[in-house]
Amino acid sequence: MDIRQELGTRLQQRLIPTPQLQVAIRLLQLSRLELVDEIRQQLDANPALEEVEVNSESISLDEPSNQSPNLSQPAPDTSRPPDPDDQAAASERSEMSDQDSIDWEKYVEGYNTFSHGPEIRVSNDEYPTVEATVGARSSLAEHLTWQLNLSDLPPLSREVGRFIIGNINDDGYLEDCLDEEIALATDTTVEHVREVLTVIRAFDPPGVASRSLKECLLVQAALNWPDNMLLRKMIENHLPDLERRNFQAVARGLRVGLDDVKELIGLLQTMEPRPGRQYSSDDIIYVQPDVHVIKVGDEYVVVVNDDGLPRLKISQYYEKTLSRQTAGEAREFVKDKLRAASWLIKSINQRQTTIRRVTESIMKFQHDFLEHGVEHLKPLVLRDVADDVGMHESTISRVTTNKYVHTPQGIFELKYFFNSKISGAWGVEDHSSMSVKSRIKALVDAERPDRPLSDQEIVKILGDEGVIIARRTVAKYREALGIAPSSRRKELV
């Protein structure tokens, strides 16, 4: 075998994304909040980027910093000789534009209108109020500790109580913490721990610090209905029967009629299976739509939501700095920062324009949804929109991921409008999977409580309406909607 090393040249073609294209692709798939964070990071990292102050007066760099512009003064004399630094900066911008194909006038000075959409002001009437988004709430541990400090328990009992409260989860249950472990950790007896537990379980909310659902319900029943032994017996022995909706077995076990069982179930439904729910620390996250679809006359107009996005511009100081540097690393540093700033502004421009075009295409396909609601959604795939706007399917996928649109029917993710096709009967057009799900939910909401619809009955009803669907598909859609089977939806009337 002859092994040799030699030098040679070879020609080959490869697709290598340019830095500008990489920035555009990365920004395109970011959500609105992620885009704001990215812009803030770029503002901190790139000194050539500046944020445009809204409703602020711009001051020229040539003016002294201790003077404010006088709006009553006449316009400057245009016959004055131009500043040499300004001429050099303009020459430098022209040179960079020729080298990097950057249109500074279009992408820098025109950034405030990057959405290229109609000037329509969107009302905030449907947004949450300030009272709904601002407020200080106490946690479950703080609420229980406050009650513990108000109690007349001795210091050792309070120490045991604080240890117990520290091991209660967000649902209000004391899990994975035995009485023996608490006694060992607090250097006391098991009987003392159980006494403190009894006191804490009587705190608000009732049933807190329980170790199981049955124990939680029993504590609430003992506090609210201490004389109702049937209720306590039903909780003790018949929770599995209640889960299966086997009310006859409950009636036989308690030796009462179905009317009495119904009354007991009414009391049970007033209890809280998760005592810590109201003190949960999970804050509601309100969606900020990326696009608004507004009806103007008989047409729907798509407007990109620019509120909250920082406005960017190129720093004039660094433009002049570039003109003063004739050579060296400082010049290359400033030039790279100016180029990166221009790429970022241009990429944000392109991102907003692409989102608007894709949303317009989606709404064109789903016009009936805008008029009549979810039940009129049409089958739609990425290829349909890609062919309509002249883009690749991967681009459409990036645009519609984590992007939300505000429509007259509500706020939806753009991915929501892409759904599979359900065949219709002869002479009937196909249906989308989302419209079929909406119809299934409407049928379940309108069913009789004592005789819920089975999956096969739903198949028959949809078949009469021209929707050809299998029973297993109905079961899959029902589970996706969080709807229990008919055997568990049955109620006593």
pLDDT tens by residue, 254-298: 999 999 999 999 999 999 999 988 887 655 667 889 999 999 888
Does 246 reside within a domain? Answer: no
Taking the C-alpha atoms of residue 241 and residue 221, their distance in angstroms, rounded to an integer, is: 19
Residues 441 and 475 occupy one common structural domain: yes
| pLDDT value at residue 190 | 92
Taking the C-alpha atoms of residue 219 and residue 226, their distance in angstroms, rounded to an integer, is: 10
Per-residue pLDDT of 70-101, as tens digits, reads 433 444 444 445 554 455 445 545 554 444 44
Q: Number of folded domains in the chain?
A: 4
Q: What is the mean pLDDT of residues 143-160?
A: 92
Q: What is the mean pLDDT of residues 117-143?
A: 61
| pLDDT value at residue 106 | 45
Burial of 135 (0-12, 13-18, 19+ CB in 10 A): exposed
Q: What is the mean pLDDT of residues 163-168?
A: 92
Per-residue pLDDT of 184-222, as tens digits, reads 999 999 999 999 999 999 899 999 999 999 999 999 999
Higher pLDDT, 237 or 426: 237
Residues 390 and 446 occupy one common structural domain: no
Does 460 reside within a domain? Answer: yes
Residues 412 and 400 occupy one common structural domain: yes
Q: What is the mean pLDDT of residues 407-434?
A: 79
Contact 198, 142 (CB under 8 A): no
Q: What is the mean pLDDT of residues 140-152?
A: 92
Residues 158 and 230 occupy one common structural domain: yes
Q: pLDDT at residue 109 above 50?
A: no
Pull the structure tokens for residue 26.
């990365």
Pull the structure tokens for residue 312.
């960017």
Q: pLDDT at residue 319 above 80?
A: no
Residues 358 and 477 occupy one common structural domain: no
Taking the C-alpha atoms of residue 153 and residue 150, their distance in angstroms, rounded to an integer, is: 9
Burial of 27 (0-12, 13-18, 19+ CB in 10 A): buried
Q: What is the dihedral of CA 101, 103, 107, 113, to 10 degrees?
A: -130
Q: What angle do CA 213, 217, 223 make, to 5 degrees?
A: 150
Q: pLDDT at residue 178 above 60?
A: yes
Residues 271 and 167 occupy one common structural domain: yes
Residue with tokens 């400082």: 330
Taking the C-alpha atoms of residue 475 and residue 481, their distance in angstroms, rounded to an integer, is: 10
Does 327 reside within a domain? Answer: yes
Residues 465 and 334 occupy one common structural domain: no
Q: 493 falls in which pLDDT band (50, 70, 90)?
A: low
- Percentage of residues of the chain with pLDDT beyond 90: 36
Q: pLDDT at residue 67 above 50?
A: no
Burial of 115 (0-12, 13-18, 19+ CB in 10 A): buried
Residues 224 and 328 occupy one common structural domain: no
Q: What is the mean pLDDT of residues 32-45?
A: 89
Which range of 14-18, 53-57, 115-119, 219-223 scores highest in mean pLDDT? It is 219-223
Report the CATH number that the domain containing residue 483 is assigned in CATH: 1.10.10.60
Does 59 reside within a domain? Answer: no
Residues 413 and 426 occupy one common structural domain: no
| pLDDT value at residue 492 | 66
Residues 159 and 274 occupy one common structural domain: yes
Does 96 reside within a domain? Answer: yes
Bridge pairing between strands 404-407 and 410-413: antiparallel
Contact 404, 445 (CB under 8 A): no
Residue 406: which of 289, 264, 328, 310 has the closest Cα? 289
Q: pLDDT at residue 138 above 90?
A: no
Residues 184 and 145 occupy one common structural domain: yes
Last residue of a domain, one of 358, 392, 417: 417
Residues 94 and 209 occupy one common structural domain: no
| pLDDT value at residue 127 | 53
| pLDDT value at residue 375 | 83
Does 335 reside within a domain? Answer: yes
Does 63 reside within a domain? Answer: no
Range of the domain at 230: 140-235+266-279
For the chain, the average pLDDT equals 80
| pLDDT value at residue 184 | 92
Last residue of a domain, one of 393, 417, 441: 417
Residue 348: which of 88, 57, 32, 13 has the closest Cα? 32
Q: pLDDT at residue 441 above 80?
A: yes
Does 251 reside within a domain? Answer: no
